[in-house]
Amino acid sequence: MKKFHGATPRGLLNHPTSPSFEGVFGRIFRTLPKAHFSDKALADLGAAMVAPDEGAGQTPETEIDDEENPGIDAGYTYFGQFIDHDLTFDPNSSLQKQNDPEGTVDFRSPRFDLDNLYGRGPDDQPYMYEPDGIHFVLGPSLTGNDKDATAKGLPRNGGDPKRAIIGDPRNDENVIVSQLQASMLRFHNLIADILMKENPHTTFQHIQQTVRWHYQWVVIHDFLPTIVGQAMVDSILPHLKSGKSIHQEKPKLSIYSWEKDPFIPVEFSVAAYRFGHSMVRPIYRLNQTLKDRQTIFGSDPNKSLNGFREFPLNWAIDWDLFFDPGKAPRVGIDRIQKAYKIDTSLVNPLGNLVIPKVVPAGTPPSLATRNLQRGKEFGLPSGQAVAHYLGVKPIDDKDLRVGKANEDGELPDKNGKIANKLLTEISPEFVKNAPLWYYILAEAQQEFKKNDTPIVLGPVGGRIVAETLIGLMVGDKYSFLNQHHDWCPRKEFFGPDRHFKIRDLLRAIRGK
């Protein structure tokens, strides 16, 4: 059986062949024809989308890296990965279905319900919880971040390597998403302490709902505007701009609809939401006390952020280096690290994912090639066909390039030459016919003007991502949008700008 992110079977490979199928996965663009490509053209494009190995030549921290996106902090890459794992988690056990008091249909729907934290709950997986059945068991203390004296990792078993004992093993895939998972466990414990102090009879369900709603708020008010831009979010949730209630001003979903329950569109999971792969950096600073930075993947366990194992305990992440606390410097060891630009280039380590548990044997090691091939297997339409459907002018072939969005690649040199290749130079099959995942990255890249231009998803990619995430929340009768239209996060968590963002959630747990 094939696996994704090296963990539990996901159901995605039992994908619908009928365009009108709706299960956990379905289609948005049911009437559009599938695009055709040869495997060779996709392999050549995949190879061209992986940047050359920079080896030791990484931009030093004393300089601004021209591949960084000034509009998106590096932490959103992994928060994006965390969200993906929440939505595509499939608690597909028949035992669970029998035990689900609220009906199997709801339980199996993709929802922002943090089942990647809660797993199957304290009754079914008691070993993840303290004896009170309310608080999560946490892992060992982590040091290195002087701002957080109580930092903790994930609880692990005694095996070799030590595997994390968590709701969704994929959230231990790398050291950053692993510490994000541990922080969310701590946030649950913090909410439990606060609510139990206010009312000793408070229930697990009430604590869980409070945690979920804070997280859902962050997805709508922080993550989405950062990735697709506030204007796109406002066009779908107009009440956010007008200040009216969601009942007075209803959400406007123009492409995503469902018959019974919201589903994960394959155009989202196989193309648009894989935008995150282009944001991965090759190297990260975890905290200010470590001498060196760590590489995202590599063979040396003391230097690389590979997951599915216990990492050195002085690797506590200082989240201020991943989510700007406000006016953080762009250079120096206390700088805010930015995500790499959303463009048609992936960093070199993702071109060769020979990591057991991440890439099963016998599949292409290049993540770019795998994404392109999945698009073909799933019969996705071309980027241009989707643009036409949405009433957006498709990008001309002469503007569809492959490579990094930086001044060395995208602007003419003194001889008037642009270093990046044209997509159609890779294969004539791509004339007016671009694979959807590639097209969505290229569309974001059109925003590029100079190295410090912020880049978000464009009108095709942004609409698929925003309508899917918002649609899933609108269609979930337990989300805060449906249950409590004027609900707000707890005021004590608000940041200095009176917003509640992922940065503030991670700040709330410090020292707790």
Residues forming contacts to ligand HEM in the complex (CB under 6 A) are 4-5, 10, 77, 80-81, 84, 88, 174, 269, 273-274, 276-277, 280, 296, 353, 358-359, 367, 370, 374
Residue pair 391/374 in contact (Cβ under 8 Å)? The answer is no
Cβ 150 to ligand HEM shortest distance, Å? 27
Cβ 4 to ligand HEM shortest distance, Å? 3
Residue-by-residue DSSP string for 329-398: -SSSTTSPPEEEPSSS-B-GGGG----TTTS-TTS-S-HHHHHHHHHHHTTPPPHHHHHHHHT-PPPPGG
Cβ 503 to ligand HEM shortest distance, Å? 18
SS (H, E, C) 490-501: CHHHCCCCCCCC
**Residue 135 vs 274, nearer CB to ligand HEM:** 274
**Residue 148 vs 173, nearer CB to ligand HEM:** 173
Residue nearest to ligand HEM (CB): 276
**Residue 84 vs 115, nearer CB to ligand HEM:** 84
**Residue 174 vs 451, nearer CB to ligand HEM:** 174
Cβ 365 to ligand HEM shortest distance, Å? 9
Sign of CA dihedral 322, 212, 229, 34: positive
Cβ 354 to ligand HEM shortest distance, Å? 11
**Residue 84 vs 222, nearer CB to ligand HEM:** 84
**Residue 122 vs 282, nearer CB to ligand HEM:** 282
Cβ 199 to ligand HEM shortest distance, Å? 37
Cβ 230 to ligand HEM shortest distance, Å? 19
**Residue 10 vs 135, nearer CB to ligand HEM:** 10
Distance CA 247, CA 502 (A): 26
> Which neighbouring-strand residues pair with 295?
283, 304
Cβ 141 to ligand HEM shortest distance, Å? 25
Residues written for the chain: 512
Cβ 404 to ligand HEM shortest distance, Å? 18
**Residue 269 vs 382, nearer CB to ligand HEM:** 269
**Residue 164 vs 359, nearer CB to ligand HEM:** 359
Q: Which amino acid is at 374?
A: R
Residue pair 260/277 in contact (Cβ under 8 Å)? The answer is no
Paired tokens of 93: 């056990």
Distance CA 106, CA 51 (A): 42
**Residue 340 vs 448, nearer CB to ligand HEM:** 340
Sign of CA dihedral 101, 468, 456, 497: negative
Distance CA 43, CA 23 (A): 31
Paired tokens of 392: 């957006």
Cβ 137 to ligand HEM shortest distance, Å? 26
Q: Find tokens 């050195």 and name the residue.
A: 312
Distance CA 127, CA 165 (A): 8
Paired tokens of 438: 């590639």
Cβ neighbours around 500 below 10 Å, total: 21
What beta strand segments (E) does 187-238 contain?
none
**Residue 10 vs 463, nearer CB to ligand HEM:** 10
Cβ 241 to ligand HEM shortest distance, Å? 26
Residue-by-residue DSSP string for 227-294: HH-HHHHHHH-THHHH---TTTS----SS---SSS--EEHIIIIIGGGGGGGG--SEE---SSSSS-E
